[in-house]
């Protein structure tokens, strides 16, 4: 029988002990470690290489959405089951969207927890019964009526724009954008930008096409209405590329990312037509970024580039799903225009 290695992460030792005891006789499951905070969790994941993680998202030094996204990107095969006291439906949807395999409430019987672990290990998605009922009620609720401006703002949030970028795009002041967003959150019954984005996912008709109105370029022809992503750990280089692209295609939506996690977030919320990815992303691999991005957004055309191109990088990049591999010094305005025209039409 194959042994499944399980790691417990909860800042209460008594809770960890209770969970470990409940799972002690589960066939083929062995608890290989326990941790009580975020830094300890990341260390244990690297050292113990578990197959499954049981996780409380309220530990010290742990940012649920960001850390789970990073863990999912680094350990794509890891099964993640959240065991929490929080039953907020929007929060649950946010964590499911970040990549967890299941969400279980602490007040449920330990026998249900055993079942949850078994289901997650079998490759299924687990949501405990009380949460399922809440999520069903949420989907049955009619979406609120919004003004054109509110739909426009939701579209910008869905694109991942910050307040400053929204202000530039909409022609409003940053203070006005902040006021609009505060009223919008109150109207939707959400507390944050993250919750608003996940609300959009549940009610896509709210946004419609308000944020994607065709604009005209200087020659009067309709500009490209799709999106492009630049992935590079150098702010200076990203800025240089963005400016070159923006000059040629002023209405093209341009995203930026400096890590695999940030790139995958764009893949989930926007699925851009073209992604330009540097082979070296700080301590991360751009080739691994391309592989995960291709899985998350298979329709996106991926172009890898590097200041130190070689045949092995090229071979690995093509296997990861890239359609081209370029030397950084060749990525000028003319090359960008050719890439964008070919990818986005």
* CATH number of the domain enclosing 174: 1.10.10.10
Residue 143 lies inside a defined structural domain of this protein: no
Same domain, 11 and 81: yes
Structure tokens, 172 = 């409003």
Same domain, 66 and 130: yes
What pLDDT, on a 0 to 100 scale, did the predictor assign at position 218? 34
CATH number, domain of 123, equals 3.40.50.2300
- Alpha carbon distance 28, 23 (integer Å): 10
What pLDDT, on a 0 to 100 scale, did the predictor assign at position 336? 81
Same domain, 207 and 248: no
What pLDDT, on a 0 to 100 scale, did the predictor assign at position 81? 96
- Alpha carbon distance 189, 9 (integer Å): 31
- Alpha carbon distance 293, 322 (integer Å): 10
Same domain, 57 and 87: yes
What pLDDT, on a 0 to 100 scale, did the predictor assign at position 29? 94
Decide: helix, strand or coil at residue 264: helix
Provide the 8-state DSSP code for 145. P
How distant, in Å, are the alpha carbons of 14, 84, 92, 326, 340 from that of 102?
22, 11, 9, 40, 39
What pLDDT, on a 0 to 100 scale, did the predictor assign at position 203? 63
How distant, in Å, are the alpha carbons of 15, 214, 258 from that of 194?
29, 27, 19
pLDDT digits (tens, 9 = 90+) for 156-203: 887 778 888 898 888 889 889 998 998 888 888 777 777 777 676 666
Domain boundary among 167, 187, 212: 212
Q: β-strand 126-127 against 274-278: which pairing, if any?
A: unpaired
Q: How many domains does the chain have?
A: 3
Decide: helix, strand or coil at residue 135: helix
Decide: helix, strand or coil at residue 205: helix
Residue 247 lies inside a defined structural domain of this protein: yes
Name the stretches of the chain with pLDDT < 50: 140, 208-225
Instruction: Report CA dihedral (329, 335, 339, 342) to the nearest 10 degrees.
Output: -150
Exposed e or buried b per residue across 251-274, where buried means at least 16 C-beta atoms within 10 angstroms of its C-beta:
bbbbbbbbbbbbbbbbbbbbbbbb
Q: Are 54 and 28 in contact (CB under 8 A)?
A: no
Residue 64 lies inside a defined structural domain of this protein: yes
Same domain, 254 and 173: no
Phi first, then psi, for residue 172 (nearest 5°) are -100, 165
Same domain, 134 and 11: yes
Same domain, 308 and 244: yes
* Domain with 198 in it: 148-212
Domain boundary among 138, 172, 203: 138
What pLDDT, on a 0 to 100 scale, did the predictor assign at position 213? 32
- Alpha carbon distance 169, 180 (integer Å): 14
Same domain, 129 and 152: no
Same domain, 118 and 162: no
Residue 218 lies inside a defined structural domain of this protein: no
Same domain, 37 and 90: yes
Domain boundary among 138, 169, 194: 138
Beta-carbon contacts of 56 under 8 Å, excluding residues fewer than 6 positions away, are 9, 10, 11, 12, 15, 82, 83, 84
Same domain, 238 and 329: yes
Residue 159 lies inside a defined structural domain of this protein: yes
Element containing residue 302 per DSSP (H, E): strand 301-306
What pLDDT, on a 0 to 100 scale, did the predictor assign at position 290? 94
Same domain, 23 and 109: yes
């Amino acid at each position: 029988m194959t042994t499944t290695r399980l790691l417990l992460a909860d800042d209460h030792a008594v809770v960890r002990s209770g969970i470990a005891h409940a799972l002690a006789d589960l066939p083929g499951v062995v608890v290989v470690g326990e941790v009580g905070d975020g830094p300890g969790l990341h260390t244990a994941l690297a050292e113990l290489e578990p197959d499954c993680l049981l996780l409380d998202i309220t530990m010290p030094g742990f940012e649920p959405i960001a850390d789970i996204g990073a863990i999912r990107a680094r350990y794509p095969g890891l099964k993640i089951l959240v065991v929490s006291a929080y039953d907020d439906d929007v929060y649950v949807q946010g964590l499911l969207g970040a990549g967890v395999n299941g969400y279980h409430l602490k007040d449920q019987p330990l026998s249900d927890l055993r079942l949850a672990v078994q289901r997650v290990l079998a490759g299924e998605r687990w949501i405990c019964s009380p949460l399922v009922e809440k999520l069903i009620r949420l989907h049955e609720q009619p979406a609120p009526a919004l003004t054109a401006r509110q739909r426009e703002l939701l579209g910008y949030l869905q694109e991942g724009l910050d307040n400053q970028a929204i202000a530039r795009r909409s022609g409003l002041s940053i203070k006005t954008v902040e006021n609009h967003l505060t009223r919008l959150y109150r109207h939707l019954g959400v507390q944050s930008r993250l919750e608003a984005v996940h609300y959009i996912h549940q009610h896509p008709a709210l946004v419609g096409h308000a944020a994607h109105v065709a604009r005209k370029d200087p020659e009067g022809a309709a500009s490209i209405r799709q999106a492009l992503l630049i992935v590079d750990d150098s702010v200076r280089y990203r800025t240089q590329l963005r400016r070159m692209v923006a000059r040629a295609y002023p209405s093209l939506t341009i995203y930026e990312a400096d890590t695999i996690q940030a790139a995958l977030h764009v893949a989930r919320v926007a699925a851009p037509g073209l992604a330009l990815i540097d082979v070296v992303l700080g301590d991360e691999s751009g080739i691994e970024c391309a592989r995960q991005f291709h899985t998350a957004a298979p329709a996106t055309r991926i172009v890898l580039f590097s200041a130190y191109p070689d045949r092995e990088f090229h071979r690995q990049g093509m296997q990861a799903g890239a359609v081209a591999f370029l030397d950084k010094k060749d990525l000028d305005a003319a090359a960008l225009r050719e890439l964008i025209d070919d990818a986005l039409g």
